[in-house]
Chains A and B, each alone.
Chain A
Amino acid sequence: MAEDLATTQEHAATHSALQHHFENMEQQREAGTLGMWVFLVTEIMFFGGMFLAYTLYRSKYPEAFAVASNHLDIKLGGINTAVLIVSSFTMAMAVFSTQVGKKRNSIIFLLMTMALGLTFLGIKAIEYHDKYRDSLIPGTLIPGRPFNPSPHELHLPPGMPIGNVELFYWIYFAMTGMHALHMIIGVGILSVITILAVRGRFSPEYHAPVEISGLYWHFVDIVWIFLFPLLYLLGRHLAGHLG
């Protein structure tokens, strides 16, 4: 009994954030990281299904997908790619600053990461609004504004079924929409982390929450790294042939 008490006291003496079922902080941190990766794996499978649907339909209707993808704004998409990669860098810097105990820097980097995330969402909103203006939102998702692009606007070759072009926009909105939702959740998580950082909850000994939120943020960045070339770039060279 006395021995147990001694162990408990020794345990508590290591760090206040150490949960009783872990030997030490390092083991706790590794278990948390592993758990986060297992969650991210389920996310890989979730987005993987949509990437598979994209692959199948792109190979089935290559011309229609090229026509539809040519209407996306490559400039805005490219800027967003840069914004997200820089935000991943600032996130990595936030984690690093926390690890070395530079509280001020870590808060600045967290705020920068969130600002870049919001920039991404803002640009995405502009793109979505352009699609709304051109009646390119598929089906009847927007009441009173069904999918009805002007064939001239899309450079639609004669005889191409409009439904195949619409299919691209279903996939585009499903994938970028799910990605944007992940971004919104990511900004929400980071705002909580920032508040905790301001309250001084993290230290070189205890920074697992910052690190794990960082893993989530990087994962969302990786999804966009694949979405951008697949949705915006591929088929662009066909524009000349289809004009």
Chain B
Amino acid sequence: MAFYNFPGPLNAVVALTIAVIKATLVILYFMHVRYSPRLIALVIGAALFWMAILFALTISDYSTRAWLPVS
């Protein structure tokens, strides 16, 4: 499985999808979030949202730096 070559960036997508599924199962069942107050889910959701902002803004910076010539 680990050595199977998906075309292009699909390797990363597949590997990360598996990781996300595993992490979600751990969070929902081992960490009892599924049976906890909704407030806990809200805290986790807010954290992931905040981290998405961190990633999105930083990557948008780095990936567009080459668009303009360095003056």
**Pairing of A with B:** yes
A160 within 8 A of B: no
Please report which residues of chain B, range 47-65, place their CB below 8 angstroms from some CB of chain A when the two chains form the complex: 47-48, 50-51, 54-55, 58-59, 62-63
Q: Given A45-B51, A49-B54, does the pair A215, B11 have CB atoms closer than 8 Å?
A: no
B71 within 8 A of A: no
Give the residue of B23, B39, B54 whose beta carbon is less than 8 angstroms from that of A226.
B23
- Minimum CB distance partner of A219 in chain B: B31
Which chain B residues border A173 with CB–CB below 8 Å?
Answer: none
- Interface residues of A, CB < 8 Å — how many? 40
Chain A residues in 8 Å Cβ range of B3: 236-237
> Per a CB cutoff under 8 Å, which of A34, A59, A221 touches B40?
A34
A137: Cβ under 8 A from any B Cβ: no
Set of chain B residues within 8 Å of A214, measured between Cβ atoms = 30-31
Q: Which residues of A contact B51 (CB under 8 A)?
A: 44-45, 48
CB distance from B36 to the nearest CB of A (A): 7
Residues of B within 8 A of A (CB): 2-6, 11-12, 15-16, 18-19, 22-23, 26-27, 29-32, 36-37, 39-40, 43-44, 46-48, 50-51, 54-55, 58-59, 62-63
Specify which of B29, B31, B32 lies most central, judged by the most chain A CB atoms within 10 Å of its CB. Answer: B31
- Interface residue ranges, A against B (CB under 8 Å): 30, 33-34, 37-38, 41, 44-45, 48-49, 52, 55-56, 59-60, 74, 78, 85, 88-89, 91-92, 211, 214-215, 218-219, 221-222, 225-226, 228-230, 233-237, 240
Complex: A41 Cα to B31 Cα, angstroms? 14
User: Once the chains bind, are A74 and B59 in contact (CB under 8 Å)?
Assistant: no
Contact of B19 among A38, A49, A59, A225 (CB under 8 A): A225
- Tell me which of B16, B54, B62 contacts A229 (CB under 8 A): B16
A234 with B11: CB separation less than 8 A:
yes
